A and B are shown apart, each in its own frame.
Chain A
């Protein structure tokens, strides 16, 4: 049995303390141990972005991190975007513009977009393309995804 380590972390605004095995990735622990299956497992080598989470405000690939690395940190997964069952403006824009097709890449796209909008409330199309460049969509709905982020940014300003 691998070494287990006690960690204390904030996930989606909730303080949590639990044991993790040293040799598990954050993605494994989110999905299999915490039941947060919004983050998707796809390439597991950092190429697709389906596993993107935000740690201390910064988007990262959870498949490239050990779970123990979130000790003492603040993590947001896609489950943390909605409040009280209400989608946030970004999620609503994705829905309104039919950005999701099969939907598999969408949690990662949302996390990258959310991190961008937190940093830059008035992005250009180029900013959006750059920020979402690490998120592949095999349904190739890139236009709608970019558009949705721009719409959400505008909505946020009003």
Chain B
């Protein structure tokens, strides 16, 4: 690992000041499960590493306030998986968080880091897109809130500007009854990166949202307003046509070692059908209890 200077701010203000003074060769350290590997393998060689874990404002890492949950930059996958409210209201996010790496990795890896790292295969990107998460960003000019769809840009890139830190994710419980589910395809059970990731949500107005990743430069969100996917009795051809449109932009890399483009495209449809089916089932349950 190349040498760097290590900074450990204790407040958000201090962190912003440290970032401003550090130039552009700076890396933010939260869980470190991607960054430490990247630094050891020397494809990231920062001169300054800013560790966020002592910033007082980030604790507690997961806070519910009415219908909104705020997950700070230090909220780990384990905390997401263990939170009862997340499991109840955002089950697809819990399903995505619980398959990231292993227990040891989930104890360390953060939800926000999964997004900031910018991997097209990030497990939590599709559910966060489906649930319309907001990314809270702090910088020298203050705080701004960015829709997750605008925050995610491309491989390794986000909407963060120099001197800014993503400090939290906000999720608000949808006002209409919603059923949602997450599916992924990997080569094996256990620690593995996903070849296809997909999240679907169906609401009681017949609108279906589908977000999918690992088949292009970023995870995308698409919405079916025709009601076809939400309808369990829709003819198979109609459903296939809607999926065709939803997945039109999928452009899996030919260079990936994990799966061929044809296989990924085929699996998108399989996972799409599975996730929508489970989402419909959950919507029925939600309606049943309300």
Taking Cβ atoms with an 8 Å cutoff, the residues of A that contact B are 1-3, 5, 21-25, 44-47, 49, 52, 58-61, 63-66, 68-69, 112, 130-131, 133-135
Q: Is B255 an interface residue (CB 8 A)?
A: no
B6 near A64 with CB under 8 A, answer no
Q: Is B63 an interface residue (CB 8 A)?
A: no
Taking Cβ atoms with an 8 Å cutoff, the residues of B that contact A are 1-6, 8, 29, 32-33, 36-37, 39-40, 49, 51, 53, 78, 101-105, 107-108, 190-191
Return the chain A residue nearest B78 by Cβ: A58
Q: Bound complex: CA of A21 vs CA of B8, how far in Å?
A: 15
Can you report 9 residue pairs joining A to B where beta carbons are below 8 Å apart? A22-B49, A46-B37, A46-B102, A59-B104, A60-B104, A64-B32, A66-B6, A68-B6, A134-B104
Q: How far is the CB of A98 from chain B (nearest CB, A)?
A: 24
A64 near B36 with CB under 8 A, answer yes
Q: How far is the CB of B103 from chain A (nearest CB, A)?
A: 5
Return the chain B residue nearest A53 by Cβ: B104
Q: Bound complex: CA of A59 vs CA of B53, how far in Å?
A: 17
Q: Bound complex: CA of A1 vs CA of B4, how far in Å?
A: 10
B104 near A46 with CB under 8 A, answer yes
Q: How far is the CB of A63 from chain B (nearest CB, A)?
A: 8
Q: Which of B4, B103, B107, B190 contacts A22 (CB 8 A)?
A: B4
B101 near A46 with CB under 8 A, answer yes
A46-B102, A66-B29 known; A60-B107 Cβ under 8 A: yes
The residues of A that contact B105 with a CB separation of less than 8 Å are 46, 61, 64, 134
B102 near A69 with CB under 8 A, answer no
The residues of A that contact B102 with a CB separation of less than 8 Å are 46-47, 49, 133-135
The residues of B that contact A63 with a CB separation of less than 8 Å are 36
Q: Which of A3, A68, A134 contacts B101 (CB 8 A)?
A: A134
B191 near A134 with CB under 8 A, answer yes
A61-B104, A130-B103, A134-B105 known; A22-B40 Cβ under 8 A: no
Q: Bound complex: CA of A135 vs CA of B108, how far in Å?
A: 16
The residues of B that contact A61 with a CB separation of less than 8 Å are 33, 104-105, 108
Q: How far is the CB of B242 from chain A (nearest CB, A)?
A: 36
Q: Bound complex: CA of A18 vs CA of B278, how far in Å?
A: 54
Q: How far is the CB of B38 from chain A (nearest CB, A)?
A: 10
Q: How far is the CB of A33 from chain B (nearest CB, A)?
A: 15
The residues of A that contact B29 with a CB separation of less than 8 Å are 66
Q: Bound complex: CA of A47 vs CA of B187, how far in Å?
A: 14
B108 near A65 with CB under 8 A, answer yes
Q: Bound complex: CA of A63 vs CA of B104, how far in Å?
A: 11
Return the chain A residue nearest B76 by Cβ: A58
Q: Which of B39, B101, B103, B104 contacts A23 (CB 8 A)?
A: B39
Q: Which of A22, A25, A47 contacts B3 (CB 8 A)?
A: A22
A2 near B4 with CB under 8 A, answer yes
A24-B1, A131-B103 known; A64-B53 Cβ under 8 A: no
Q: Bound complex: CA of A2 vs CA of B47, how far in Å?
A: 10
Nearest 3 A-B pairs (CB), nearest first?
A: A134-B102, A2-B3, A22-B6
A22 near B5 with CB under 8 A, answer yes
New contact pairs (4) apart from A22-B4, A23-B3, A47-B102, CB-CB < 8 Å: A25-B1, A49-B102, A59-B107, A66-B6
Q: Bound complex: CA of A65 vs CA of B53, how far in Å?
A: 12
Q: Bound complex: CA of A133 vs CA of B190, how far in Å?
A: 7
Q: How far is the CB of B193 from chain A (nearest CB, A)?
A: 10
Q: How far is the CB of B31 from chain A (nearest CB, A)?
A: 8
A25 near B36 with CB under 8 A, answer yes
Q: How far is the CB of B217 from chain A (nearest CB, A)?
A: 23
Query: Which of B8, B103, B191 has the most chain A CB within a 10 Å cutoff?
Result: B103
Q: Which of B6, B8, B37, B107 contacts A45 (CB 8 A)?
A: B37
